[in-house]
Amino acid sequence: MNNLPENGHALRPIVTSIPLPAGFEPTWAGPLAGHAFCIGSEDGRILFTNEIGKPMFGPTKASESGEAVNGVAMSGMWLATATRADVCFSPLARSEKGERESLVLPLGTHGIDATASGFFIAPLGQAGIMVASPPFTADGFITAYEPGKEGFYSYRAGCLRGANQTEVLITAGRLGGIGFTKFVGSDRQLVMTTATLEALDVVDFCPLFPGTESFALAVLGRDRRLLFIKDALTDKKPATFEFKTIEGVAYRVLSCRGDVYVATSKGLYMAANLATDFMNSRIGETINTQVLVMPMEIVDANLCGDEWLLAVTPDGVRRFDVHALHDSQPDDTQGAILRRVAESHAATSSKTLKFDEVMQNSSELALAG
């Protein structure tokens, strides 16, 4: 099923495979600092490669539990590796004694991210959100914010940074909706605004214009419904979209160069210029979108800057050139494998959307050496 051509374009190959060592079964792949990739495995190891997939470090054990890696993030000189059973914080530099001892939070998370201000953020499911700032010590503590409302299940968490270094913490809360709150990092309590849409099982979100000061974001439901928000702090009339072309169980939404990507159990879909067209639209206005279909089985997907998209498949890791995808022409169908479908949608808001405010109190969790 994963039969996308290795060289889709004569000059810019749209997709290439990242070579992996024998026995390394990938479960996660994403960016490391600079132009490097990090790939996590089913048995808790990580591998660093350069952009062409040449190994730079590892594979090395990064999870104490040896469980499948579901996220890796870096902040300062610390690396955090998340699994369903623990989060391991590893210093990148050796101590004065020449040691490099990891510290473990013996709690599972659904992933991990790092904010621009240097915090690690991880969704703890019904336990809320973990917030941690390096450096870490063996007798240290980590902050956890409770969900604040019944049914708000923290499934993905991350921060957007706007003007004046203002940060907004976003949480995908499954049937509890999507949550937003201004984030300082030292607050004992957060006041989170939640938006819920009837039966929308929120599994992911992404900034529409990563790397900018925009608070515009896309929210993804497990049923592939998309919610587009022009400003997470002020927009009370997000637009909803449901593309017929997109099939399967929705996993990820990503946005780059004005295009929106949705990864599902059936494949990777690119809604060309949707982010840009949405931001330029008025309420009710029709948006015409070309949806590029790339059928494949996907485990996970992440953007690496504005050049690459890494898709983990059962066969390995595939690196997509999002620049080349963005520039590809509507008639550039590359045989029967890639196809484009035109869809038109009105940028209208759902009447069943509800906003709520909840208080999230914090507690401290102990680290283990």
Q: Which residues bind other proteins (CB under 8 A)?
A: 25-28, 42, 65-70, 83-86, 106-110, 124-127, 153, 155, 174-175, 201, 203, 222, 248-249, 251, 265-266, 297-300, 312-314, 365
Closest approach of Cβ 306 to other proteins, in Å? 25
Min dist. Cβ of residue 142 to other proteins (A): 12
Query: What single letter denotes the amino acid at residue 209?
Result: F
**Pick 53 or 125: Cβ nearer other proteins:** 125
Cα Rg for the chain, rounded, in angstroms? Answer: 20
Q: How far apart are CA 267 and CA 313, in angstroms?
A: 10
CB of 183 to other proteins, least distance (A): 22
Smallest distance from other proteins to CB 177, Å = 13
- Comparing CB distances to other proteins, the nearer of 110 and 161 is 110
Whole-number Å distance between alpha carbons of 302 and 214: 20
By C-beta, is 156 or 161 nearer to other proteins? 156
Least CB distance from residue 83 to other proteins, whole Å? 7
CB of 167 to other proteins, least distance (A): 25
Least gap, CB of 72 to other proteins (angstroms): 12
Minimum CB distance to other proteins smaller for 28 or for 183: 28
Q: Are 70 and 81 in contact (CB under 8 A)?
A: no
Omega prior to 106 cis, within 30 of 0: no
- Taking the least distance from each CB to other proteins, the nearer of 152 and 278 is 152
Which C-beta is closer to other proteins: that of 175 or that of 337? Answer: 175
**Least separation in angstroms between CB 197 and other proteins:** 16
Which amino acid is present at 245?
T
User: Given the complex with other proteins, which of 203 and 274 has the nearer CB atom?
Assistant: 203
What residues pair up with 144 in beta bridges, in sequence order?
A: 130, 363
When the beta carbons of 130 and 272 are compared against other proteins, the nearer one is 130
CB of 365 vs other proteins, minimal distance in Å: 7
Q: What is the 3-state secondary structure (H, E, C) of the chain?
A: CCCCCCCCCCCCCCEEEECCCCCCCEEEEEECCCCCEEEEECCCEEEEECCCCCEEEEEEECCCCCCCCCEEEEECCEEEEECCCCEEEEECCCCCCCCCCCEEECCCCCCCEECCCCCEEEECECCCEEEECCCCCCCCEEEEECCCCCCCCECEEEEEECHHHCEEEEEECECCCEEEEEECCCCCEEEEEEEECCCCCEEEEEECCCCCCCCCEEEEECCCCEEEECCCCCCCCCEEECCCCCCCCEEEEEEECCEEEEEECCEEEEECCHHHHHHCCCCCCEEEEEEEEEECCCCEEEEECCCEEEEEECCEEEEEEHHHHHHCCCCCCCCCCCEEEEEEEECCECCCCEEEEEEEEEEEEECEC
Closer residue to other proteins, CB minimum distance, 225 or 230 = 225
